[in-house]
Amino acid sequence: MVSADSPPSAALPPPVEPRLRRVGRRRPFASFRSIGALILREMSSSYGRTPGGYAWAILEPVGGIAILSFIFSVLFRNPQLGISFPLFYATGMLPFMMFSTVNTKVAQALNYSRPLLAYPSVTYLDAILARFILNFLTELMVAYIVFTGIILMFDTRVILDFPSLGLAFALAGALALGVGVLNCFLMTAFPLWQQAWSILMRPMFILSGIMFIYDAVPEPVRDWFWYNPLIHIVGITRRGIYASYDAPYASPLYVMSIAGACGLAGLFLLWRYHRLLLQR
């Protein structure tokens, strides 16, 4: 019982409801964190266990191109453009290798990062972009080292057109990403497609104009070669190296159309079926 002389009790403040974070809402910049973590994971898992680490990702293709350039320069002393066969070979091989390597890495993104895709903060787009960024930058570094080494070691007499070179490697990266995204779905959904794609890519070394220029192909066959987007990329690369070579047949719009069509088709299929693919 409360006495009359006792002071009135102070009013209690209303209870404060805890603020709950909305379920399903991703943290700001979560994709950037996931992509960065996936890049570091691939660098450590793929190259961290070997002496030299990530440097081998650059030195191995550089050494391979140097050896092949020396062999072919002995067999073919007079290139169809310029006076240096190693440089002529590199202008065809480097963009082809960028497409082939980056496309293969992107196509295997879901299978490579499958355990991490069980976490809600990691999406299939994060896995694809992480592999693309790492391998695209690696191939750019390889191209820079090879071109710089050839120009310094040989009498090339070239005037570099940097906008054309930048366009060529940007197109190679875009084509590799677009085709790689479509192959990512196909290789995950149909494992036999990986072997079929490997067979289809073997003649591309010849059909992409690495050892010759498009203009030297006879007319009935030349029209068919035009539909190979790598022919356009190699032509733009050589336009950036040889001032006298214009490559009027090369169409960046055609390359971007192929890259965009493949990329959009692959993204739609992955968006529609990626959960089913990850449960297999």
In a domain, 20, yes or no: no
Residue 54 has pLDDT above 90, yes or no: no
In this predicted model, which residue has the larger pLDDT, 272 or 118?
Answer: 272
In a domain, 1, yes or no: no
Residue 76 has pLDDT above 90, yes or no: no
Which among 129, 69, 136 has a CA at the least distance from the CA of 99? 136
First to last CA, the chain: 71
Q: Which domain holds residue 37?
A: 30-278
Side chain identity at 12, as an amino acid letter?
L
In a domain, 45, yes or no: yes
In a domain, 256, yes or no: yes
Residue 262 has pLDDT above 80, yes or no: yes
In a domain, 233, yes or no: yes
Separation between Cα atoms, residue 163 and residue 176, nearest integer Å = 20
Residue 8: exposed, middle, or buried by beta-carbon count in 10 A (0-12, 13-18, 19+)?
Answer: exposed
The pLDDT tens digits of the residues spanning 84-136 come to 888 998 999 999 999 999 999 999 999 988 888 888 888 999 999 999 999 99
User: CA–CA distance from 201 to each of 99, 142, 197 (Å)?
Assistant: 11, 21, 6
In this predicted model, which residue has the larger pLDDT, 127 or 280?
Answer: 127
Separation between Cα atoms, residue 29 and residue 37, nearest integer Å = 13
CB 175 within 8 A of CB 259: yes
Dihedral angle sign, alpha carbons of residues 49, 50, 52, 58: negative
What pLDDT sits at residue 13? 62
Residue 143 has pLDDT above 60, yes or no: yes
Range scoring the smallest mean pLDDT among 62-71, 142-151, 205-214: 62-71
In a domain, 164, yes or no: yes
The pLDDT tens digits of the residues spanning 220-249 come to 889 999 999 999 999 999 999 998 899 999
What pLDDT sits at residue 154? 82
Give me the number of domains the chain comprises.
1
The stretches of 16-114 forming alpha helices (DSSP H) are 30-47, 55-75, 85-107, 109-112
The pLDDT tens digits of the residues spanning 148-207 come to 988 888 878 888 999 999 999 999 999 999 999 999 999 999 999 999 999 999 999 889
Q: What is the CA radius of gyration of the chain?
A: 27
In a domain, 134, yes or no: yes
Separation between Cα atoms, residue 160 and residue 158, nearest integer Å = 6
In a domain, 129, yes or no: yes
